[in-house]
Amino acid sequence: MSKQQSSVPLMCPICRTPLYLFERTWQCDTNHSFDIAKQGYVNLHVVQHKHSKTPGDTTVSVTARREFLSAGFYAPLQQTMTQLIAKYHIQSVLDIGCGEGYYTHAMQQHAEHVIGLDIAKTAVQRAAKLNSNVTWVVGTGTILPVLSAQIDLCTSLFSPLPLSEIQRVLTANGYMLIVTPAEDHLYAMRDALFDQVNLHDPSKFSTQFSEHFDLIEQEKLTYPMTLSQADLKHLIAMTPYAYKAKLEKRVQLEQQQAFVVNASFQIYLFKKKAV
């Protein structure tokens, strides 16, 4: 097999050296190899980094999210993200916690190279069917399988933030785009599911990263959604509320034929500080 020079800066998760593409196999110079699955993704989540047999979202959650997002309810958020990528002329993106690829797929329309990474293999398997031009990777944020100083923009939507790893993979002038629930996100639904509702606190992000990043843009995106019974069930199932809420409250809410709830997102764009 002949080595192919790849513009995708993947890193071996075992020895942290560059991975090269040999037909349908990623391999490093020390002969660690990772085959591209028939669905079109590569699994770089090695067993020594796993804390459970099937980490990440469940199949039920992934399926529900695919159905809900496919209906377009979060399209305004998707559009806002892609507009920022276009505005800042981003060439390379690493989407951390890409899930089933709804946002990652849209990012690829505006950037030259996009890597979608998630710890849940079930999610990445579905994502890989959306867009073959994205490099889809099963991996963990604990050790991002990407070479240092190669990424223009790291994105994280509702996912844990491996800050030190993000700093490592970003270029000197790289950006970090974070989307997190705003204070009142899905408030009406949460109020129906729980006896007490605590507001989200997105403001922590604006100070949490101040040592290493400058906040250059922020926006709160809020709009109402009118959900059918099926849409509401999908929304509940794709969130942690599916197992955190009392069963009787969930059953009662899911009997609603129509339900109105606000989506409310806080969007932060940070730029890496000069060293």
Is residue 6 a part of any domain in this protein? Answer: no
Is residue 4 a part of any domain in this protein? Answer: no
| pLDDT digits 0-9 by tens, 234-273 | 999 999 998 899 999 999 999 999 999 999 999 999 999 9
Domain that residue 167 falls in: 20-272
3-state SS track over 237-248: HCCCHHHHCCHH
Angstrom CA distances, 274 to 154, 207, 271, stand at 17, 18, 9
Whether the pLDDT of residue 73 is over 80: the answer is yes
Is residue 50 a part of any domain in this protein? Answer: yes
87 is written with which tokens? 């505005």
CB atoms within 10 A of CB 185: 20
| pLDDT digits 0-9 by tens, 146-164 | 999 999 999 999 988 899 9
**Cα angle, residue 114 at apex, residues 59 and 142 outer, rounded to 5°:** 60
Closest CA to 264 of 218, 205, 215, 224: 224
Whether the pLDDT of residue 130 is over 50: the answer is yes
* Binding-site residue ranges: 12, 15, 28, 32, 74, 100-101, 185
Cβ atoms 101, 134 nearer than 8 A: yes
Residue 100 has what DSSP assignment? T
* Binding-site residue ranges for S-adenosyl-L-methionine: 74, 100-101, 185
Is residue 36 a part of any domain in this protein? Answer: yes
Is residue 15 a part of any domain in this protein? Answer: no
Position 254: which residue type? Answer: E
Angstrom CA distances, 206 to 99, 190, 264, stand at 24, 25, 17
- Please spell the DSSP secondary structure of 73-91, one letter per residue: TTHHHHHHHHHHHHHTT--
Position 16: which residue type? Answer: R
Section 126-141 average pLDDT: 95
| pLDDT digits 0-9 by tens, 205-221 | 878 888 899 999 999 99
Is residue 2 a part of any domain in this protein? Answer: no
* Binding-site residue ranges for Zn(2+): 12, 15, 28, 32
**Domains held by the chain: number:** 1
Q: In DSSP terms, which residues pair with 225 in a beta bridge?
A: 261
**CATH at residue 268:** 3.40.50.150
Is residue 81 a part of any domain in this protein? Answer: yes
Whether the pLDDT of residue 49 is over 50: the answer is no
Q: Give CA–CA dist 245/190, Å, rounded.
A: 9
